[in-house]
Amino acid sequence: MTSLVNFMIQDERIGIMTLNRPKQANSLSAAMLEEINQIIQEIKHDESIRCLLITGAGSNVFCAGADLKERRLMTEEEAKAAVLSIQQTFTEIDSLPVPVIAVMNGHALGGGLELALACDLRIARAGARFGLPETGLAIIPGAGGTQRLPRLIGLGKAKELIFTGGSLQAEEAIQIGLIEHLSLADSLMDDAISLAKQIAKNGPIALKEAKQAIQMSLDHDLRTGLMKEYEAYVRLIDTEDRMEGLQAFQEKRTPHYRGN
């Protein structure tokens, strides 16, 4: 039986998760969400992984969001549970201790864009389109879109995209900060792996602490955030990785971090 989600590790440090329902626009079925959550648990317990890439199979769609064919057959209670399941899955991705990069190989609409928003960084194929069309279906983004989108691009633009249900191309998305990198289709994955390698070479404990400190900045005032930053720094002082970084700098060589 073909997996709905493929997972592999490249260069010993970079995890690559691929949504594998290209004929269904990589839409998120209940079975696919279950596989995603299984992989998330594997990543949490594998300290060798320093960075995670999430992409979609095929060349046209990154992820079209919820499987609406499946959703139409649900009772009201089942639909409520399905929405919560997607939201919780994306929160698990957001909470992973390693940096996560959405490699948007094609269009990302609805829950597909919300998946990308749950990642730390986004690199997209030129010509891809992104949007949250839920209001056109008489619902709202329910997997984090109303919360993560304004934090990323600001209230005004987020309201416009959600209220109109419109979409924009990757070339415009990078201008408003919705994505960080734009790439041609042929070089998208290579560019994403190159970015992941730049991240993965750094101290893994430092990456974890930096991610947590940055995310906390959204929930606290500046004074509290600065104290959280200091506490994170203090936790790094006793690590062997910090001493390795100083030693490598003095010896003018590449540091070899072990995560301890």
What are the tens digits of pLDDT across the range 65-111?
988 888 888 899 999 999 999 999 999 999 999 999 999 999 999 99
Is there a catalytic annotation at residue 78? Answer: no
Query: Nearest CA to 63 among 5, 121, 139, 15?
Result: 5
Options 25, 35, 102, 114, the catalytic residue: 114
- What is residue 211's predicted lDDT score, i.e. its pLDDT? 96
Other Cβ atoms less than 10 A from the Cβ of 209: the count is: 21
Residue 46's Cβ-side half-sphere holds a number of Cα atoms within 13 Å equal to 17
Q: Say if residue 22's pLDDT is above 90.
A: yes
d(CA 124, CA 127): 9
Same domain, 156 and 211: no
Tokens of 127: 């010509």
- Note the maximum CA span of the chain: 65
Q: Which of 181, 200, 219 is the last residue of a domain?
A: 200
pTM above 0.85, yes or no: yes
Same domain, 168 and 224: no
What are the start-end ranges of the H helices in the chain? 30-44, 68-72, 76-94, 111-117, 145-153, 155-164, 170-173, 188-200, 204-216, 222-237, 240-251
Tokens of 112: 């597909």
Cβ distance 183 to 126 under 8 Å? yes
Same domain, 121 and 235: no
Q: Say if residue 1's pLDDT is above 80.
A: no
Strands 14-19 and 61-63, sheet pairing: unpaired
Is there a catalytic annotation at residue 102? Answer: no
Same domain, 66 and 187: yes
- The CA-atom distances, in angstroms, between 210 and each of 9, 104, 165, 191, 223 are 23, 24, 34, 23, 17
Give the range of the structural domain holding residue 179, as residue numbers without chain letter: 5-200
Is there a catalytic annotation at residue 200? Answer: no
Same domain, 45 and 86: yes
Same domain, 100 and 152: yes
Options 111, 112, 131, 142, the catalytic residue: 111
Residue 26 DSSP one-character state: T
Residue range 3-30: average pLDDT?
95
Beta sheet of 121-125, edge-to-edge order:
5-10, 14-19, 51-56, 100-104, 121-125, 181-183
- What is residue 71's predicted lDDT score, i.e. its pLDDT? 87
Same domain, 196 and 210: no
Q: Is 221 helix (H, G, I), strand (E, B) or coil?
A: coil
Same domain, 245 and 153: no
Q: Is 256 helix (H, G, I), strand (E, B) or coil?
A: coil
Taking only the tens place, the pLDDT of each residue in 165-192 is 999 999 999 999 999 999 999 999 999 9
Is there a catalytic annotation at residue 134? Answer: yes
What's the CATH number where 224 sits? 1.10.12
Q: Is 153 helix (H, G, I), strand (E, B) or coil?
A: helix
Options 102, 134, 142, 209, the catalytic residue: 134
Same domain, 117 and 160: yes
Options 66, 102, 116, 232, the catalytic residue: 66
- What is the chain's Cα-based Rg? 19
Q: Is 67 helix (H, G, I), strand (E, B) or coil?
A: coil
Residue 238 lies in a domain: yes
